[in-house]
A = this chain, B = another copy of it.
Amino acid sequence: MIIIVTGMPGSGKSKIVHEFERRGFPSVSMGDVVREETVKRGLELTKENVAKVSIRLRQELGQNAVAKLAVEKVRELLRESPIVVIDGVRSLDEVGTFRGAFPGEKILIIAVHTPPMLRFERLRARGRHDDPQTWEDFEERDWKELKFGIGNVIAMADHMVVNDCSREEYEKRVRELVDKILAEH
């Protein structure tokens, strides 16, 4: 089974990925795929270089370049694990690439939803170097994701976790969802 995890920036995707990892299931990060390609091409890991490689990959391999590279990693992990998690899918086209590459595999989409105002507050508090500090930066970053088509993946999710609560309550919701998915599998 392949679990696709999606959600807007700062929504809390990584908690879900980590919960599956804690249970022994590996993950492939779409962001890591691009970062690895950047290093492979002998470039320093700066925001600009990663963006450049991301564009070049699309020129070389088409719109779903990152998904196509991720397919190989997923295939390898599926040899060892019955469940592989994919972190950071941003369009239904990418979902289609995975469905096409793994026709016999069950594919589930999990989306996390956090209200925009809460995501903004959390990202600002996190303060990672690329996290937005102003509402304008936040909207710009959101818009980048929306242009990819991430809203469509969220709209078509098989499971929706709402992260509008305390961290403890959210962690509980994630644990319960993972329990449910594993029980049904």
Contacts and interface: CB of A to CB of B under 8 A. Distances in A.
Contact of A155 (B92, B117, B154): B154
Contact of A151 (B116, B151, B159): B151
A113 B154 CA distance: 9
Nearest to A114: B160
A146 interface: yes
Q: Chain B CB within 10 Å — which of A116, A142, A151, A153 has the most?
A: A151
Contact of A113 (B142, B149, B160): B160
A77 to B, nearest CB: 25
Contact of A156 (B142, B152, B156, B162): B142
A119 to B, nearest CB: 10
A120 to B, nearest CB: 12
A159 B115 CA distance: 6
A155 B115 contact: no
A1 interface: no
A158 B149 CA distance: 19
A155 B146 contact: yes
Contact of A154 (B149, B154, B159): B154
A158 B8 contact: no
A159 B152 CA distance: 17
A164 to B, nearest CB: 8
A150 B159 CA distance: 18
B113 A157 contact: yes
Interface of A: 8, 92, 111, 113, 115-117, 142, 146, 149-160, 162, 164
